Amino acid sequence: MKQQAIDGPQAPGQAPIKTRRFSVSLVWIVPIVAVLVGISLVVHSIMQEGPTITVTFKTGDGLTANKTEVKYRNVVIGHVTDVELSDDHKSVNATIKLAKQAETFTREDSQYWVVRPRIGAGGVSGIDTLLSGDYIGADIGQANARKKNFKGLENPPPITYGEPGKRFSLRTQDLGSLDIGSPVYYRKIPVGQVVAYALDPDGKGVNIDLFIHSPNDAYVTENTRFWNASGIDVNVGANGFAVKTESLSAILVGGIAFRAPEYSPNDKPAPEEYAYELFDDQQSALAPPNGKPQFLALRFDQALRGLKVDAPVEFLGVEIGKVVSVNLDFDAKKRSFPINVGIVIYPQRLGQAHTKMLKELNHDPNDEAAGVRLIGTFIDNGLRAQARTGNLLTGQLYIALDFTPKRRRLPSIRTPARPAFRPFPAASNSCRKNSKPWSARSMRCPSSGSPATWTATLWNCAKVWAVQRQDFAWRAKHSD
């Protein structure tokens, strides 16, 4: 304390005046320091506090307030602080407190889902939650805009943001056995998976989205063909049975395979979101392009049991098309019921014959009217169709096109879009008519007996059928 005296004589009866400065006692220093420290802690806590968001799920299964964690790449980035019903009682709102360093997870395209044990097309996931409990998985978005309300996913996304690779689109008639997570194979090695699918806007097809992981996405070129590799592909041919499958996983959960044709000059990697067609099998996928189709209408006067839609159409043994319709008609003049068969042919499948024919006839394949006239010329020169037996065991028929110059000209009806002509009688019907006794005698295989008896019976059937075929061929040749 400091004292100041007043100079000069003092008046009688006046006391001296003293001044003091205010001072703080040591007793108050500790509380003041405590308050300052508390304020700094509050400010630091507010500055380090992360954002709060709300995620809406259909149910609250696996969500517990102040217990359920939010993880990204198996690192905790937040906690669930509250779980409550929505106002309309149709969903559950989970309030999540994110860490400060997880502020970027408020981007509007960020995703959240509940991680729990699952078994799907992509395999088994979430096994670790059996011990640790369910948690919320998160994936950071890439958009610049932010928001605080999100809609949770019911299933984990197959591909997270930032995964190196490319997405491609396939179009098919139906989904089949494919599902999200179904594998995509390249030379029987899994290189990607199905990530999404949806119906076309008109509902006439299905669009499938694929993701091919890097660096295998470089093998997807603009000339690549995709086909459905689900299940087992069994082919029966002259060489016996052929069984093909991609893997056991493809049999169980479906799959897609892709490859480019062996001869693909000037091929280059496809850009992202490139669209392809999904074929039914590898053979049709890697076949040469069909080219522009040509529709024809056939009219048969006899029964065609065994002829089905998608039956092959052949020209001199080369498959050039298929049957697209089989319909019964009524002829009021003849009082009969003919059968109209619609077929589609692809002239480009004739290969070099098609190229030379276009050059020789100076024909433009893009001129539809000229194409109709060309088919009409072939019909006038003896082009006919015949239903023949393609499989003795199943009785299935196919359509064979051939030139028969010696046959009489038949009246034909042509339309600009679909030429029509009358085929000559089906060989299959003649076989049925002439082989009834043989069929009744030889096809009654014994229900019991030794393998030698069965072998002898089948051998006799084969010999009788060979003789019958020679007789049918001679009758057809000399029928005129």
Q: What confidence tens digit (pLDDT) does each residue in 344-396 have? A: 888 878 777 777 877 777 777 777 776 777 777 777 777 888 888 887 777 88
Cis peptide before 190 (omega within 30 of 0): no
The pTM of the full predicted model, rounded to 2 decimals, is 0.58
Out of 1-15, 203-217, 299-313, 450-464, the most confident range is 203-217
Lowest mean pLDDT segment, chosen from 204-208, 306-310, 387-391, 443-447? 443-447
Is 439's pLDDT higher than 50? no
pLDDT tens digits, one per residue of 90-104:
999 999 999 988 889
Calculate what percentage of the chain has a pLDDT beyond 90: 25
The confidence score (pLDDT) of residue 479 equals: 52
Cβ atoms < 10 Å from Cβ of 397: 24
Domain map (residue ranges) of the chain: 52-151, 165-286, 294-434, 437-472
- For residue 436, what pLDDT band results from cuts at 50, 70 and 90? very low
End-to-end CA distance of the chain, in Å? 146
The confidence score (pLDDT) of residue 352 equals: 78
Lowest mean pLDDT segment, chosen from 51-55, 130-134, 342-346, 372-376? 372-376
Largest distance between two CA atoms of the chain: 168
* 308 in Cβ contact with 273 (< 8 Å): no
d(CA 129, CA 141): 25
Task: Read off the tokens for 335.
Answer: 């009082």
d(CA 93, CA 273): 35
Going by their DSSP bridges, the two strands 294-300 and 420-421 should be labelled as parallel
Q: Higher-confidence residue: 50 or 10?
A: 50
Amino acid at 183: P
Residues 6+ apart with CB under 8 A from 401: 313, 314, 315, 316, 320, 345, 383, 384, 385
Which of 337, 329, 177, 353 minimizes the C-alpha distance to 249? 177
Cβ atoms < 10 Å from Cβ of 205: 14
Task: Read off the tokens for 133.
Answer: 């409990």
